[in-house]
């Protein structure tokens, strides 16, 4: 998993991300856009279902905090459980963690049981 965090003063980085998605639709199987309070999240899956990119933009006054997470299905169990542990400590639900890791909610539940035992 790769994670990139940056602060940007771009007036609308969300528009740029959406334009990028639209220009690459040939390589995309699915995408989802959600907005909650001052945070916009764009989830994009590759056509071959082996990669998921999650772009998060959080408005903070006149700037944005931008986070990009790239997940692939090739993550080892140990790497995944470390990520699951981190995301759980941030207060994410099992369903949210499952979405970010490209695994089922049941797998995340099993991972959390293994982590806590």
From first to last of the 117 residues of the chain, give the pLDDT tens digit. Answer: 566 666 666 667 888 888 877 787 788 888 888 998 888 888 888 888 788 888 888 888 777 888 877 776 777 899 899 999 999 999 999 998 988 888 899 999 999 999 998
| Count of H-run helices and E-run strands, the chain | 4, 5
- What distance in Å separates the CA atoms of residue 15 and residue 74, rounded to the nearest whole number? 30
Q: C-alpha angle with apex 56: 60 to 112, nearest 5 degrees?
A: 120
Closest CA to 114 of 75, 74, 80: 80
H-run or E-run covering 74: none
Alpha carbon 94 to its chain's center: 14
- Nearest to residue 12, comparing CAs of 64, 56, 65? 64
User: Between the CA atoms of 96, 102, 103 and 108, what dihedral angle is there, to the nearest 10 degrees?
Assistant: -40
Q: For residue range 9-21, list pLDDT tens digits in order.
A: 666 788 888 887 7
CA–CA separation, 1 vs 3, rounded Å? Answer: 7
1-73: CATH architecture: 2-Layer Sandwich (3.30)
pTM over 0.85: no
């Amino acid at each position: 998993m790769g994670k990139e965090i940056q602060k940007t003063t771009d007036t609308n980085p969300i528009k740029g991300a959406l334009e990028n998605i639209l220009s690459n639709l040939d390589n995309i199987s699915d995408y989802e856009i959600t907005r909650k309070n001052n945070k916009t999240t764009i989830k994009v899956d590759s056509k071959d279902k082996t990669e998921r990119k999650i772009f998060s933009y959080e408005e903070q006054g006149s700037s944005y905090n931008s986070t990009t997470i790239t997940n692939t299905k090739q993550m080892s169990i140990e790497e995944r459980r470390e990520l699951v542990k981190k995301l759980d400590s941030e207060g994410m639900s099992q369903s949210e963690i499952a979405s970010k890791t490209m695994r089922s909610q049941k797998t995340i539940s099993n991972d959390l049981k293994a982590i806590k035992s």
